[in-house]
């Protein structure tokens, strides 16, 4: 057992600030520990009372003189740091700091919190909180919280950034009968954070599904690593609230403008294999289903109903949600034809029709689940005069256990007529709802997890050896030494070339002769532009010449561009004239990178050219750990993909080259964290190869 695991499996718990006064937090925690069924030692710490809640109390943690796994701090905030010191000296492994008044109240509290963490570090203690409700584990069992009740025993770990929400969910779960393995409120997460609790729950054999309510993430890369590992074993479902302010900031670049405020979390969650819940209802519907249902092998759903309307409603949900209506095998159809009355519909959805007794449900459901073309089923029931609701419930539970690999949900629409059946189904682990749609939404979530679980197996970062780091470093050093953060266009092209990212040739000429030489090297026609960070509207002042077809035109252009620029902007710093080869027009895409403060660089791909932000057609992936499969997926998600594939009979573009360019941009941004923004827009994609036309690279100073 790792040290962290002992937080949830303590053998001894001390409560500092334990109290005999009902209503005090230190009283509630002692009572909760006592009544939780905890098998280890409980040490109330109280400087005055020799006994708390009938247990021997100690004046100080130093007086216990036995190993202490967990100390719960319910002391006034101003004594919390000295108390933590004492805990350290007493050999406490973990502190659960319920005490509030830290970071959440401002500067002074923040400093106090830093001191708390410092002293914990010094003694190698870990901290939950401060400003939290505490933690409980129903299998250990122990309850180191001040909540009114203990959670029902179950297999869901619930981890929440909001303590009040914990209390609310706990109360709600007692009424609805939802059970939990672990219930964690981590408060200010001064030390242990969401990643640690995901790791703990992933290693907990009693936890089948991990649910989180999060408002932010402390350490993006570690969160992703831990969540990916967890996802390989069990679903991680997160309700993330609040929109990230980070996205909006980066909007100075094309790529930045393509990213929405939620793009970073969406991208990170995808990489992490996290199943994202849109609402609290969905979070707990899914969590509950994962504790009782197997993961479906595919997306093909069978629907069994005794009424047409709900069957159509379910079919609509299946198709809208990306699942498929199962197509029954010949065998199944032949069997159903025999077994069902002629009026019944034996195609999916199977309509056993209004005069059906329970046996028709039994026949249809078993036939569907036996069919190899079926991955999951949902059973719909309307309370007709003849249907034996309770028996249908039994039939479903039996069929579930006969086909243990296929999840089944149910919707019994009705009230008093169906309630016994609904209760029986829920008690026997069949997720059952009042209407057809939630049962389908649950299956959609489960199928999505199956995909995510497979996707997180994919881990080989796409890396190229033929890149020239030193050259790039030298260019960046020069740029920074020059007091700039934006690379000149020819510099950006040099960087791209060093990483074999295809770019239209571009050189900075400082004389007529150089310009002429560069142009003949790269080949005509060329475009020439004044190279100056101080001149914005280059075309307007005569600082741009396009379509230059000969050495002579190039020489003349050099002179006139320099003259025009000096006249228009006498004080501008001029680096020379950029000579760029004019490339044949291709299909326009964008490749770019923006940086998220939590998750680091994200590469982007989408439709490019001047309409890039109009279409808003882009997909994102984390640069770090980017795999070939991810690159292929991100391209396939865009509308640009349709063009690359050869739209309306056009010749397809060189998609492997596009993939490679994205991966190389990702590697460049991984290797050089000082790149703060990168845009290649447009990239011309051709049937063979591609060419980055306009490359912008910005560094953090």
Task: Tell me whether residue 48 or residue 175 sits nearer to its own copies (CB atom).
Answer: 175
Distance CA 11, CA 40 (A): 5
3-state class of 122 per DSSP?
A: helix
Q: How far is the CB of 435 from its own copies (least distance, A)?
A: 4
Q: Which is nearer to its own copies, 279 or 401 (CB)?
A: 279
Question: Shortest Cβ distance from residue 24 to its own copies (Å)?
Answer: 11
The tokens for 147 are: 């909540």
Distance CA 98, CA 121 (A): 18
Closest contact distance (angstroms) between CB of 496 and its own copies is: 25
Q: Minimum distance from CB of 81 to its own copies (Å)?
A: 22
Q: Which is nearer to its own copies, 221 or 308 (CB)?
A: 308
Nearer to its own copies, 63 or 215 (CB): 215
- How many CB atoms sit inside 10 A of residue 181's CB? 26
What are the residues whose beta carbons fall under 8 Å from the beta carbon of 540, sequence distance 6 or more? none
**Cα(476)–Cα(470) distance, integer angstroms:** 10
- Where do the DSSP E strands lie in 348-429? 350-351, 376-381, 408-412
* CB nearer its own copies, residue 39 or residue 385: 385
CB half-sphere exposure, 278, CA atoms < 13 A: 5
For its own copies, give the closer residue by CB, 79 or 165.
Answer: 165
- Measured in whole angstroms, the distance separating CA 200 from the mean position of its chain's CA atoms is 19
Whichever of 5 and 650 has its CB closer to its own copies, that residue is 650
Compare residues 176 and 469 and give the one whose CB is closer to its own copies: 176
The CA distance from 452 to 471, in Å, is 39
CA-based nearest residue to 701, from 675, 678, 669, 679:
675
Outline where DSSP puts E strands in 295-442. 300-305, 324-325, 350-351, 376-381, 408-412, 432-433
* Closer by beta carbon to its own copies, 69 or else 617: 617
Closer CB to its own copies, 120 or 411, in the complex: 411
How many helices and strands in the chain, by DSSP H and E? 24, 30
CB 260, min distance to its own copies, A: 11
**Smallest distance, Å, CB 28 to its own copies?**
8
Please say which residue, 26 or 625, places its beta carbon nearer to its own copies.
26
Least distance between its own copies and beta carbon 238 (Å): 13
Taking the least distance from each CB to its own copies, the nearer of 479 and 544 is: 544
Buried b (16+ CB within 10 A) or exposed e, 647-686: eeeeeebbbebbbbbbbbbbbbbbebeebbbbbbbbbbbb
Please identify, using beta-carbon distances, which residue of 382 and 564 lies nearer to its own copies.
382
User: Which residues have a Cβ under 8 Å from the Cβ of 27 and sit 6 or more positions away?
Assistant: 18, 19, 20, 21, 52, 53
Measured from the CB atom, the residue of 381 and 504 that comes closer to its own copies is: 381
- N-to-C CA span, the chain: 46
Q: How far is the CB of 414 from its own copies (least distance, A)?
A: 4
The dihedral through the CA atoms of 306, 309, 314, 319 has a sign that is positive
Smallest gap from Cβ 56 to its own copies, in A, equals 27
| Smallest distance from its own copies to CB 104, Å | 9
- For residues 315 and 312, give the distance between their C-alpha atoms in angstroms, rounded to a whole number: 5
Query: Smallest gap, in angstroms, from Cβ of residue 425 to its own copies?
Result: 16
3-state secondary structure 237-288: EEEECCCCCHHHHCCCCHHHHHCCCCHHHHHHHHHHCCEECCCHHHHHHHHH
Residue the block writes with tokens 């101080």: 534
Q: Is the Cβ of residue 126 or residue 189 nearer to its own copies in the bound state?
A: 189
Q: Which is nearer to its own copies, 67 or 242 (CB)?
A: 242
CB of 378 to its own copies, least distance (A): 14
Encoded tokens for 146: 């001040």
Residue 517's φ and ψ, nearest 5 degrees, are: -65, -50
328 close to 337: Cβ distance less than 8 angstroms: no
Q: Where are the beta strands (DSSP E) in 39-170?
A: 41-45, 51-52, 55-56, 70-73, 94-97, 126-128, 134-137, 142-145, 152-160
Shortest Å distance, C-beta 164 to its own copies: 3
Q: From the CB of 381, what's the least distance to its own copies, in Å? A: 8
Task: Check if the beta carbon of residue 228 is closer than 8 Å to that of residue 273.
Answer: yes
Minimal distance in Å, beta carbon 243 to its own copies? Answer: 7
Per the CB < 8 A criterion, the answer to whether 571 and 605 are in contact is no
Residues at the interface with its own copies (CB under 8 A): 23, 105, 148, 160-165, 167-169, 171-176, 213, 215, 239, 241-243, 279-281, 306-310, 312-313, 315-317, 319, 343, 354, 382-385, 413-419, 434-438, 610-611, 614-615, 639, 642-643, 647-648
- Taking CA atoms, 341 is separated from 303, 345, 346, 356, 526, in Å, by 17, 9, 9, 9, 78
**Shortest distance (Å) from residue 195 CB to its own copies:** 19
| Residue 73 near residue 98 (C-beta atoms within 8 A) | yes
- Angstrom distance (rounded) from CA 287 to CA 449: 12
């Amino acid at each position: 057992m790792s040290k962290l695991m002992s937080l949830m499996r303590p053998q001894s718990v001390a409560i500092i600030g334990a109290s005999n006064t009902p209503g005090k937090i230190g009283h509630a925690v002692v009572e909760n520990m006592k009544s939780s069924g905890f098998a280890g030692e409980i040490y109330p710490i109280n400087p005055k009372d020799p006994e708390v809640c009938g247990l021997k109390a100690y004046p100080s943690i130093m007086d216990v003189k036995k190993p202490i796994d967990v100390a719960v701090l319910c002391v006034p905030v101003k004594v919390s740091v000295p108390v933590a010191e004492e805990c350290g000296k007493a050999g406490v492994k973990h502190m659960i700091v319920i005490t509030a008044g830290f970071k959440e109240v401002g500067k002074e509290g923040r400093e106090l919190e830093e001191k708390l963490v410092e002293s914990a570090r010094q003694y190698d203690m870990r901290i939950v909180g401060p400003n939290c409700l505490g933690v409980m584990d129903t299998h250990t069992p122990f309850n180191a919280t001040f909540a009114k009740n203990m959670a029902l025993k179950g297999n869901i770990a619930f981890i929440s950034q909001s303590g009040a929400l914990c209390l609310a969910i706990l109360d709600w779960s007692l009424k609805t009968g939802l059970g939990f393995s672990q219930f964690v409120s981590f408060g200010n997460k001064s030390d242990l954070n969401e990643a640690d609790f995901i790791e703990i729950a992933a290693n907990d054999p009693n936890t089948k599904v991990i649910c989180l309510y999060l408002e932010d993430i402390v350490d993006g890369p570690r969160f992703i690593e831990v969540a990916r590992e967890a996802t390989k074993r069990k679903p991680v479902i997160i309700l993330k609230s609040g929109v990230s302010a980070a996205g909006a900031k980066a909007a100075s670049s094309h790529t930045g403008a393509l990213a929405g405020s939620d793009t970073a979390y969406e991208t990170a969650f995808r990489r992490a294999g996290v199943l994202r819940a849109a609402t609290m209802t969905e979070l707990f519907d899914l969590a509950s289903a994962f504790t009782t249902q197997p993961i479906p092998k595919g997306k093909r759903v069978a629907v069994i109903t005794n009424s047409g309307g709900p069957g159509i409603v379910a079919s609509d949900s299946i198709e809208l949600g990306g699942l498929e209506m199962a197509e029954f095998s010949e065998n199944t159809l032949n069997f159903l034809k025999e077994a069902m009355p002629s009026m019944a519909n034996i195609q999916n959805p199977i309509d056993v029709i209004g005069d059906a007794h329970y046996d028709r449900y039994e026949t249809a459901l078993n036939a569907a689940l036996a069919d190899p073309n079926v991955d999951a089923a949902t059973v719909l029931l309307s309370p007709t005069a003849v249907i034996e609701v309770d028996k249908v419930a039994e039939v479903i539970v039996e069929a579930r256990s006969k086909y243990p690999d296929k999840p089944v949900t149910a919707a019994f629409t009705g009230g008093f007529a169906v309630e016994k059946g609904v209760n029986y189904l829920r008690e026997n682990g069949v997720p059952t709802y009042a209407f057809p749609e939630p049962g389908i939404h649950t299956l959609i979530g489960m199928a999505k997890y199956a995909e995510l679980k497979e996707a997180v197996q994919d881990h080989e970062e796409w890396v190229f050896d033929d890149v020239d780091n030193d050259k790039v470093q030298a260019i960046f050093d020069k740029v920074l030494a020059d007091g700039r953060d934006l690379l000149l266009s020819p510099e950006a092209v040099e960087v791209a070339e060093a990483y074999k990212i295809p770019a239209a040739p571009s050189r900075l000429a400082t004389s007529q002769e150089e310009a002429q030489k560069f142009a003949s090297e790269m080949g005509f026609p060329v475009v020439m532009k004044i190279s100056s960070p101080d001149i914005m509207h280059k075309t307007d002042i005569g600082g741009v010449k396009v379509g230059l077809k000969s050495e002579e035109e190039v020489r003349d252009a050099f002179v006139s561009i320099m003259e025009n620029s000096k006249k228009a902007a006498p004080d501008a710093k001029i680096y020379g004239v950029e000579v760029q080869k004019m490339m044949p027009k291709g299909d326009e895409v964008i490749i770019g990178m923006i940086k998220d403060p939590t998750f680091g660089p994200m590469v982007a791909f989408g439709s490019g050219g001047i309409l890039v932000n109009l279409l808003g057609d882009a997909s994102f992936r984390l640069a770090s750990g980017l795999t070939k499969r991810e690159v292929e997926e991100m391209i396939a998600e865009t509308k640009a993909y349709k063009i690359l594939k050869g739209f309306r009979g056009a010749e397809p573009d060189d998609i492997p080259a596009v993939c490679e360019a994205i991966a190389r941009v990702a590697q460049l941004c991984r290797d050089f964290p000082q790149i703060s923004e990168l845009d290649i827009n447009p990239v011309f994609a051709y049937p063979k190869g591609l060419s980055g036309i306009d490359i912008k690279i910005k560094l953090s100073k």
